[in-house]
Structure 1
Amino acid sequence: MVGFFLLKYLSLNAKTIFLKKMKKYFLILIALISTNLLAKVDHDPYPLSYFALRDIISQVNVSPDGKHLAMMKIATKEGDPVLEIYETNDLSKEPFRVNADPMEIMGYSWIGNDNVLLSLRQKVRDKIEGFNEGVYEGKLAKLDIRKEKIKEFRVLNPRVENLLPFKPNKVILSFNADSAVNMRLPRQFRPRQYYELDLKSGRKKLIINGKISLATIVFDGHGNPRIGYGFDQKNGEYVYYYRGIKDEKWEEIHRQSEDSFENFQIQGIDQEAADTLFVVAHNGRDKQALWTFDTRKKDFGEMVYARNDVDVIGVRGHSDRWNKPDEVVAVSYATDKPYYEYFDAEEAKLYALLEKSIPNSHYVQITSRSKDNEAIVAYNSGPQDPGTYYLLQDNKLKEIGSKQPSFEHDQLAEVKYIKYKARDGKTIPAYITIPNGEAPFPTIVMPHGGPFVQEVVGYDKWAQLLASRGYLVLQPQYRGSKGYGLEFYKSAFIKGGQGGKAMQDDKDDGVKYLIEEGLSDKDRVAMFGWSYGGYAALIAASRTPQLYQCVVAGAAVTDNMLQVNFYRDQMRGAGKIEQENMWMDSLSPIKEVDKVNIPVLLIHGSVDQRVPPRHAKDYLEVIEKAGKPYKYVELEGADHFYNTLFYRHQLKFFKAMIDYLKNDCGPEGL
C-alpha cells in the first residue's frame, strides 16, 4: 500500500512545522545568493556539497488548459521529490504539494486539466537479486488536484506507453510478457502486454498480448495500433509491421537479419503522405540518414536528410503534443551540441525565438504547452547552464527556476568540441572542459560508460566539479562510440575486442594531443570513469609507458568473463558478436593487476545491478595480494545508475575522489 500525504490534509501544527522548515531552507538559500556566498571566485571553488545536491527542480510542465504549472522539487539535501502545483497566473502564490511515503515520486504526466498521473518507485529489498534485478519496484497513481484525492492503481512495474490525448481518462500501459525471453532481444523486440487503463474505475482492458512474432506495438495519439515489431525465430530476422487506420490486420513491411549491424528505426508516420513512415537507417551507408519508407511498396523512398560527418540521431516531435501528438517537425544530429533541421516553419520560428531570448542557450526544448498554445514551458541546458525552465505567456518570457540555483552561469567552465588523430590515423572527436587559469592544466581523462553509446556533452556535473578544482577534463569519443558511423562503431570489436588495446590508445592519444597543444601538464594526468569508464581507468593503471599519475575507477567491470557470463545466454545475433568480442577478446583488469604501476581508487555501489559488487570484491582480493597501492570506497545502497546516487552517496564519492586526486595521486598529488 502506498502511503501518500497531501500537505493540505496535515494537522495545522504539522503543516506549520513543515512549511516553516521549507521557508527556512529557502530563506537561507536566498540569503546566500544575496550575499554572493554561492558565487565562485578564482581561489574559492563551490563546495562539494553543491555538486552533491540532486536537482532542486525538474520536470516542469503546464496543464492542458494552461491554468496550472507542475514541477518536481527536492527542497532538502536528503529529501525525496515533492510534486508542486502552481497557478500559472501567479507563480508567487503558495503551491499545492504532494509527497509519497514510503514510495518516491519519480515523475508525472498531466492527463487532463485537473488530473496528474504519478510514477512511483519503492525500495523493496536490501540486496540485488542478480544481474539487472535491482532493489526497486514501481507503481502508478492518479492525483485529482481539484478534489485533492489520490487513487492508487494495482499495477506493478508498468510502462506508460501513450497518454491518449484524445481519450480523456484513458492511458495505455505495457508490462513485460516474459522476462526470460525479453533479455535475449533488442528492447523493441521483447514481448510486452498492452492494456488500456481506465483512470476513473482503475480497471484495465487487454489490448494486445505480445508474443515473439509480434512483440511490441506503437500506438498513435488516438490509440490506434500503427507500428509493430516482431522476431522470426526460424530465420533469425527482425520483422517490422505497419497497420493503416482502416486496416484490420498487420502488414509485414521490412525484415532485417539479426546478424546485421545496420540500423532500421521507425521514427514516426508522415502526416502529409499516406502510409509513409519516417525511418532512421543506414540503408547501405556508413552514416545513418533519415528516409521516407513506403509501407505499400515496402521499400525506402527518398533520403530526407543525411550528413557525411555524423549519424542522424532521430527526429523531433511537434511541441503541441495535445493537438498534434504524431507530427514530426525536425531531424536531429549532434556534434558540439544537438542540432535540428526543421520541416515545419512555425516550429522553427518558435525555437529560434526561444534560443535568441534564453541566456546561454545551448540545448533548448519545449517541455509542454497548453492546448490553446497560450502557455509554453521551455527548458535550456548546456555547459554554462545546469538546466533552467522558462514560461512563455502573454508574449513574455519568465524564468521559472534552475535545477541547480547554487551555480552562477558565468562561473561554470567552458566546453569545447575538438578532434585529434589516434596513432593509427583514425579521427577521434572529444569534448574538453576548460578550467579558469593558465595552461598547462592538470588533466583528467573521463571516458564515457557503455561503451557502445553516443555521448553529447552539454552540462556535465562531474566535468564541472573537476574543472572547478582546476582540472581540465577530456571526454574522448573513442572508437566504439556511436554517432560517428558504422565503421567507427564496429572498429572496437569486429576484429576482436579492442578494450585495453586500440580503444585505450584513443584515450592516451588524446592526452598526448593536449600535451602537444600546451593545454595539459604531462606530469599531472589521471583517468576517472564509471562503468566501462571505470574499466578503462583500471586498464590505464597497468599500461606502460605510463601517462597517468593515478586512476579513479567507479562501478568498474574488473573481470571481463564474469561480466559476460551474467548475460551470455541472453545474447544473440549482432549483439552477441559485439558483446562477446568486446569482453572476451579485450584485456581484463583483474588479470592485469601485476602490471599496475600507479595508485588506484576503486568506488562501487553496494547494490549495483548492472556491474554487481562481486567485481569490486574480487578485484580487491587480487590487488591486496599483489601489494599494489589502492583505496576502496563503497556507496551503501547505491545502484549503478545515476538516479540511485543520492546526496549522501555523491558527497562521499566526491570527497573521496577530490581528496585522492589532491593527496594520493602520484608522488605529490595532482
Structure 2
Amino acid sequence: MAVLLATSAVLVGPAAALAAPAPAPADAPSAKDLTRYALISNVVLSPDGKHIAALTSGDGAKINITVWKTDALDKPPTIIGSTSMVFKGVSFVKNDRLRVAVMQPLTVRSWKGHVRKTYFTDLEGKSWTTPLTDTAEAKTDEEAIKRARGGNPVFVSALPRDPKNVLMIDQRTGSEGDVNKVNIYTNSVERIDRMAGRYEGFLTDGKGDIRGRIDTGFEDGKAYAVQQIKNPTTGAWEDHFRSYARDRNFTTLEGFSSDPNIAYVSIVKTNGKRGVYVYDITAKQVLEPLFEHKLFDANGVILDNNGELLGVNYDDARGSIYWVDEGIGARFKSARTALGVKMEPLAWTDPDTEVKTRFNVSTDFDISVVDASEDRSVVIIEKSGPKLPPEYYLLDKSGKLTLLGSSRPWIKTAGLGQTRLVQYMARDGLPVPGLLTTPPASFGAGPHPTIILPHGGPWARDHLGWDVSGWVQYFASRGYVVLQPQFRGSQGWGEKLWRAGDKEWGGKMQDDKDDGAKWLIDQKLADPGRIAMFGYSYGGYAALAAAIRPNGLYQCSVSGAGGSLAEMKKATSNSRFLRERQAPSVDGLDAVQNAGDAKIPVFLYHGDRDDNVDIKDSLRFINGLKNAGKPYKWLEIKDMGHGYATMTPEMMETQLVEIDKFFQNECKPGGL
C-alpha cells in the first residue's frame, strides 16, 4: 500500500486560494462562511445600562470593538480598532472603562506559544493601560517561558462600589499571589494582601472584598483542597470544607449572600448530581437546598452587586438558569415566547440511577441572558441553537425587544443539519448521551456517510448550541450524519458516566464511540461502508485509537492535535494534586506507541505553537506509520496553538477544507 506523503501548510495567503473539495449544495455554507469572524459577538452592557460594547468584524478577518449608546442605536457607534493586537474579549469594569483581552503568538527563546494580556481603555480607545506588567528582563530561559505562559494578572472583581479601582492578583515574578487594587485610570497599584501564590479560587462578596479562597495541603500523605472563608465577624480566615484529591468530590463555594453570614455552596449529595445549598458560615452548617435537579448538575449562582440572589445555573442539554428573582424570571419567560422558543418533552434514562423519566428541551433554538445593567432595567438576550448562529437582542424594562445584530447573517439556515439530543445503550448497558445532527431533508432519509466526532478533554462535554468551530454544520450541510458521543469519562451527565471512563482510554471509552456508530447503522442513518472518526485534542487521540483497534467500523480517521497516553500521564503527574486526582484515571491504549498497527488511512494535523499537546506526539505517530508502510496525510499549521482562541479564520478554514478533501479522496476507494 502506497504511503501518502504530506507537506506542512504555511498560511501566508487567503484560505480561498486553497484547492477546494467537490462542490457542495447551493445553500450549504462554505468553509469561509463558517469560520470568518462573526459580525457581532461578546455583547456586554455598562453597569448603568447606557452603553453596549461588542466584538465586531466587518470583513471577517479583523476584530474590532464597537461601542453604542443604548438610547441612540440608530446613530453611528464608536469603533475601536488595532493594528497590533487581536481582541479576544471585552467587558465593562466601570461605566466608562472597558477591560480588553488580547492574544498574540509569541516566541520566547526555546518556547513557541501564545500570550494573553489584559488592557483597560476608555470607550473611544484613546487611553490604554496595562496593569501589573513585568518589565524586568528574565534571567533564565525557564523564567522567560514561565512569564510568557502565565504572567498575565488574574482579574478578580470590578469592585462595583469603587469608582476607580478593580481587584487583581499579581502574577509577576517575586510578587505572585499579591492582591492589588489597580486604578484603571492611572495604572497605580495598591497592594492590599500578600498570599504568596499559595491560594487560588478567589471569591468576593457584594462589597468586592475577597472572602473565599482555596488552599491545598497534605494529610497522612493524601493531597487535599480546603475551602477557606473569611469570618464575617472576626475577619480571620477559617477552613470549612476539606476535599481529598483522590475522591474527586469537591465542595465548591459559589457565592456570598447579602447576609454576611450566609454563603452558597455546591455539593454532590445524591444521585450523582451536584446541587446548590445555603450555608451558615458561623455554624459551619449546610442548611436547606437552594436548587437541585434530578438529572443535571447545578454549577453556580447569579448575584447582583448587593449579593441578592437572582438565579442558579444548571447544566442541562444547553445550559440553563433557574430564575429565583421573579421580575427577571417573568421577563425572560415573555422574551422566550416573543422570540418563538418551543419546547418538547424528551424521554431520558438517567445514567446514574437508570431511572426512566422525561424533561423538556428546546427544539430548534433557545435564549439566554448574557448581560444586564446593575438595576436590571436593560438586558442583553442571545438567541441561538445548533442551526441558528447567535442573534443578540436588547430587552428593555417595558419588555420591548430590539435586534442588535446577527453573528452570521450570511448563513442560510435552511441548508444546515438538524441537531437533537439522543441516548443509546453501550454494550454493557450504560446509557450514553449524544448529540445527533442529520443532514437537510434534501439528502433523503439515509443511510448517509457518517462522522463520529468525540469531544476533547476527556473531562468535558458537548452542549446543544451553535458550534463555533464550524465542524458539525460544515459536514452535515454536505450530507453527513454527525454524532457527538458523550462517552464514559465525559463530565456533566452524572458521576457514574464520568467515573466509568477511569483507565479506559482506548477501551470502554472507545467502545462507547463504536457503539454509537453501530446504533446509527441500526437506525438506518449511517451507511456501514462510509463511516469515519474525527476528533481534536482528546478527540484526536480517540481518532488515532480508532485507526488501531480491530473494529472494522471506520474507513479512515482524522486526528487534530491528538496526544499520546504517555504524555497525558506525564502531564497529570507534574503536580502532587493531579497525581492523585486525575492521573489514576489515565490508562489504557497508547495509540502513539502502536501506530504501526493502524488499519485505515489517517490524516493528522497539528499547530506548531501548541503548548498543550506537543506536536511531537503527532510526529511520533507518523513515524510509526512510515516504518510500517501505512497510508497517512500530514498537515502542520503555522502559528496555530491548541485552543480555538489561538486559531485565525484562515486556520479554521484550512482544517475544514483539508478534512473534506481527505474524506472525499483518500478515506476509501471512491471517497467517504
Matched, 1:293 2:271: no
Counterpart Cα distance in 1 of 2:646 and 2:635: 16
1:164 is matched with: 159
1:631 is matched with: 633
1:459 is matched with: 466
Counterpart Cα distance in 2 of 1:154 and 1:258: 32
2:608 is matched with: 606
Matched, 1:260 2:247: yes
2:489 is matched with: 480
Shift of 1:570: 1.9
SS in 2 for 1:529: strand
1:214-234 CA-partner distances (Å, limit 9, x unpaired): 545312232222212112345
Shift of 1:553: 0.5
In the alignment, is the contact (CA less than 8 A) between 1:549 and 1:598 conserved in 2?
yes
Counterpart Cα distance in 1 of 2:86 and 2:52: 20
1:134 is matched with: 113
Counterpart Cα distance in 2 of 1:214 and 1:374: 37
SS in 2 for 1:102: coil
> Among 27, 49, 58, which residue is 2:41 paired with?
58
Amino acid aligned to 1:75: G
After TM superposition, the structure 1 = structure 2 runs for residues 513-528 of structure 1, keeping only pairs within 5 Å, are 513-528=519-534
1:78 is matched with: 61
Q: 1:656 to 1:332 in 2, by over 3 A?
A: same
TM-score by length of 2: 0.84
Unaligned runs of 5+ in 2: 1-22, 135-151, 342-363
After TM superposition, the structure 1 = structure 2 runs for residues 44-55 of structure 1, keeping only pairs within 5 Å, are 44-55=27-38
1:569 is matched with: 574
After TM superposition, the structure 1 = structure 2 runs for residues 402-551 of structure 1, keeping only pairs within 5 Å, are 402-436=406-440, 437-438=443-444, 439-460=446-467, 461-493=470-502, 497-551=503-557
Amino acid aligned to 2:309: V
Shift of 1:551: 0.4
Counterpart Cα distance in 1 of 2:392 and 2:287: 39
SS in 1 for 2:113: coil
In the alignment, is the contact (CA less than 8 A) between 2:106 and 2:113 conserved in 1?
no
Shift of 1:69: 2.0
1:352 is matched with: 333
2:378 is matched with: 375
Counterpart Cα distance in 1 of 2:669 and 2:254: 53
2:9 is matched with: none
Amino acid aligned to 1:77: G
SS in 2 for 1:424: coil
SS in 2 for 1:50: helix
Shift of 1:45: 1.8
> Among 404, 419, 422, which residue is 1:400 paired with?
404
Moved more, 147-156 or 467-476: 147-156
In the alignment, is the contact (CA less than 8 A) between 1:231 and 1:238 conserved in 2?
yes
SS in 1 for 2:540: helix
1:174-200 CA-partner distances (Å, limit 9, x unpaired): 1347899xxxxxxxxxx8332110123
In the alignment, is the contact (CA less than 8 A) between 2:572 and 2:583 conserved in 1?
no
Amino acid aligned to 1:142: T
Counterpart Cα distance in 1 of 2:447 and 2:182: 60
1:100 is matched with: 82
SS in 2 for 1:538: helix
SS in 1 for 2:605: strand
SS in 2 for 1:279: strand
Counterpart Cα distance in 1 of 2:320 and 2:86: 34
Counterpart Cα distance in 2 of 1:646 and 1:442: 29
Shift of 1:58: 1.3
Q: Which has the higher contact order (CA 8 A, sep 6+)?
A: 2
Amino acid aligned to 1:419: Q
2:169 is matched with: 174
Q: 1:65 to 1:134 in 2, by over 3 A?
A: same
1:155-174 CA-partner distances (Å, limit 9, x unpaired): 25122211111111110111
In the alignment, is the contact (CA less than 8 A) between 1:330 and 1:342 conserved in 2?
yes
In the alignment, is the contact (CA less than 8 A) between 2:533 and 2:554 conserved in 1?
yes
Amino acid aligned to 1:93: K
Counterpart Cα distance in 2 of 1:429 and 1:144: 45
In the alignment, is the contact (CA less than 8 A) between 2:254 and 2:265 conserved in 1?
yes
SS in 2 for 1:398: strand
In the alignment, is the contact (CA less than 8 A) between 1:526 and 1:550 conserved in 2?
yes
1:516-560 CA-partner distances (Å, limit 9, x unpaired): 111111111100000000000011011213101110110101x32
Matched, 1:194 2:172: no
Shift of 1:265: 1.2
Counterpart Cα distance in 1 of 2:68 and 2:572: 46
Moved more, 208-217 or 94-103: 208-217
Q: 1:633 to 1:203 in 2, by over 3 A?
A: same
Counterpart Cα distance in 2 of 1:122 and 1:48: 24
Q: 1:212 to 1:82 in 2, by over 3 A?
A: closer
Shift of 1:60: 1.5
1:71-126 CA-partner distances (Å, limit 9, x unpaired): 111222332x2111123233232221212342222222223333223333333327
Matched, 1:123 2:108: no
Counterpart Cα distance in 2 of 1:350 and 1:244: 37
Unaligned runs of 5+ in 1: 1-39, 181-190
In the alignment, is the contact (CA less than 8 A) between 1:262 and 1:486 conserved in 2?
no
Q: 1:315 to 1:449 in 2, by over 3 A?
A: same
Moved more, 228-237 or 458-467: 228-237
In the alignment, is the contact (CA less than 8 A) between 2:248 and 2:581 conserved in 1?
no
Shift of 1:642: 0.3
Q: 1:515 to 1:532 in 2, by over 3 A?
A: same
In the alignment, is the contact (CA less than 8 A) between 1:128 and 1:609 conserved in 2?
no
Counterpart Cα distance in 1 of 2:38 and 2:81: 16
In the alignment, is the contact (CA less than 8 A) between 2:231 and 2:281 conserved in 1?
no
1:596 is matched with: 598
Moved more, 621-630 or 405-414: 405-414
Moved more, 371-380 or 639-648: 371-380
Shift of 1:213: 6.2
Q: 1:604 to 1:213 in 2, by over 3 A?
A: closer
1:249-268 CA-partner distances (Å, limit 9, x unpaired): 12222222232221211111
Shift of 1:41: 9.5
Counterpart Cα distance in 1 of 2:162 and 2:527: 61
* Root mean square deviation of aligned Cα: 2.6
Percent identity of equivalent pairs: 27
1:236-277 CA-partner distances (Å, limit 9, x unpaired): 332222224443212222222232221211111233x55222
Shift of 1:284: 6.3
Amino acid aligned to 1:666: K
SS in 2 for 1:256: strand
Q: 1:475 to 1:228 in 2, by over 3 A?
A: same
Matched, 1:149 2:135: no
Counterpart Cα distance in 2 of 1:555 and 1:59: 27
Matched, 1:337 2:318: yes
Matched, 1:586 2:567: no
